[in-house]
Amino acid sequence: MTVTLNGTKMDHGPARTPKVLEVQGLRVHYATPLGDVIAVNEVNLNVYEGETLGLVGESGCGKSTLAMSILRLVQPPGRIVSGQVQIHGIDVIALSEAELRQVRWSQIALIPQGAMNSLNPVMRVRDQIAEAIETHQGRRPPQELKERILRLLAMVGLPNRVYTMYPHELSGGMKQRVCIAMAIALTPSLIIADEPTSALDVVVQRVVAQTLLDVKRTLGVSMILIGHDMGLMAQLVDRIAVMYAGNIVEVAPVKDIFAEPLHPYTQLLLASIPSVKQRKPLVVTEGLTHDLRRPPPGCIFQLRCPFVMDKCREVVPPLRELRPNHYAACHLY
């Protein structure tokens, strides 16, 4: 078994592959006493069938909020202000709560950040997975349920004995794999995984990453992987969307973005990857600089951009296709 992705298609022209998810003009605000924080600003995003999309950006850039709003799970004071989220053509934003419950988990599954710590400590693994299945599909015959759960555990590479174990008996990597098993329990067409391997050791991280890839291959699901580790993204995803302060600044196939990052922020992200192959000087930069309640007019990245021009302070650069399938929002091009 290998984790090579060379076999998968890199080209996702809209004409060829059907879309699983289509996000249009999505805007999410958080209400604060001093005005709204724009967490997600007019985001357009597509996920095609069978692809893994990486969503990267620093903490606070809105990537988790974007993921949560796709499932309409944004909690107050956050709210979806406008936009459309279509899953197989169904607009999630317009659904009633009851209809939405049908879509969640069976169409889109979420592995939230720190999922492994949200397992119920007093429930055996089998009961937690069974609960996820029965909540959505009603009571099942015990034998069928058991076989199904064991199949799910096998799919994420866990031995049968995990079936009767409690979460505290499992290591972090195993718990994370239980969460993946729960996410695929109802064979969704899209899995959103928020930092699925953070807080794990490198070797365990690699095992969990392999599990995700295997699951994706066997089930043919699409996936959105959220993270900030560009190294891990290079290994796992087909396309990358780079987010900065609520805006998507660049979207491209992973090979193109690593070969030729167009947006200055992406260039910065790639330059600051620590490597074990090459000892290089540190690239030091400031973090998020502007107040998210009052974004500057023009380009969102102007305060940190080394190439800032007068135009950047006035006109918002649109996300344009600068190379085939390679989109970036920058006035430089």
Contact call for residue 129 and another protein (CB under 8 A): no
Rounded to whole angstroms, the Cα distance separating 312 from 267 reads: 17
Cβ at position 204, least distance to another protein in Å: 7
Rounded to whole angstroms, the Cα distance separating 157 from 122 reads: 23
Provide the 10 A C-beta neighbour count for residue 112: 20
Nearest CA among 19, 27, 143 for reference residue 86:
19
Contact call for residue 163 and another protein (CB under 8 A): no
CB 237 within 8 Å of CB 225? yes
Using the contact rule CB under 8 A, the part of the chain among 106-114, 118-126, 228-236, 290-298 near another protein is 228-236
Contact call for residue 174 and another protein (CB under 8 A): yes
φ/ψ of 131, rounded to 5, equals: -60, -45
Beta bridge partner(s), residue 85 = 23
Nearest CA among 118, 99, 102, 94 for reference residue 175:
118
Contact call for residue 325 and another protein (CB under 8 A): no
Cβ at position 2, least distance to another protein in Å: 6
Contact call for residue 243 and another protein (CB under 8 A): no
Look up residue 128 and give its amino acid.
Q
Contact call for residue 49 and another protein (CB under 8 A): no
Contact call for residue 171 and another protein (CB under 8 A): yes
Strand stretches in 206-269, DSSP E: 222-227, 239-244, 247-253
Cβ at position 276, least distance to another protein in Å: 5
Contact call for residue 42 and another protein (CB under 8 A): no
Using the contact rule CB under 8 A, the part of the chain among 35-43, 58-66, 68-76, 113-121 near another protein is 58-66
Using the contact rule CB under 8 A, the part of the chain among 31-39, 72-80, 164-172, 183-191 near another protein is 164-172
Cβ at position 13, least distance to another protein in Å: 19
Using the contact rule CB under 8 A, the part of the chain among 20-28, 54-62, 87-95, 103-111 near another protein is 54-62
Rounded to whole angstroms, the Cα distance separating 150 from 159 reads: 9
Tell me which of 1, 15, 34, 98 binds another protein, using CB under 8 A: 1
- Considering only residues 262 to 291 of the shown chain, the ones binding another protein according to CB under 8 A are 268-270, 272-277, 279-280, 282-288
Measured from the CB atom, the residue of 173 and 317 that comes closer to another protein is 173
Q: Could you tell me how many residues of this chain bind another protein (CB under 8 A)?
A: 53
Cβ at position 97, least distance to another protein in Å: 32
Tell me which of 39, 115, 223, 230 binds another protein, using CB under 8 A: 230
CA distances to 27, 112, 208, 276, 286 from 58, rounded to whole Å, are: 19, 17, 22, 22, 11
Contact call for residue 150 and another protein (CB under 8 A): no
CB 164 within 8 Å of CB 141? no
Using CB under 8 A as the criterion, what x/- string covers residues 190-219 for binding another protein? -----------xxxxxxx-xx---------
CB 155 within 8 Å of CB 181? yes
Contact call for residue 114 and another protein (CB under 8 A): no
Q: How would you classify the pairing of strands 108-111 and 52-56?
A: unpaired
Contact call for residue 58 and another protein (CB under 8 A): yes
Kindly give the residue spans of alpha helices, DSSP state H, lying in 94-186.
97-103, 125-137, 142-155, 172-183
Rounded to whole angstroms, the Cα distance separating 21 from 26 reads: 13
Six-digit token string for 234: 């290079």
Q: What is the DSSP letter of 318?
A: P
Site residues (vs another protein, CB under 8 A): 1-6, 58-60, 159, 169-174, 201-207, 209-210, 228-232, 234-235, 254-255, 258, 268-270, 272-277, 279-280, 282-288
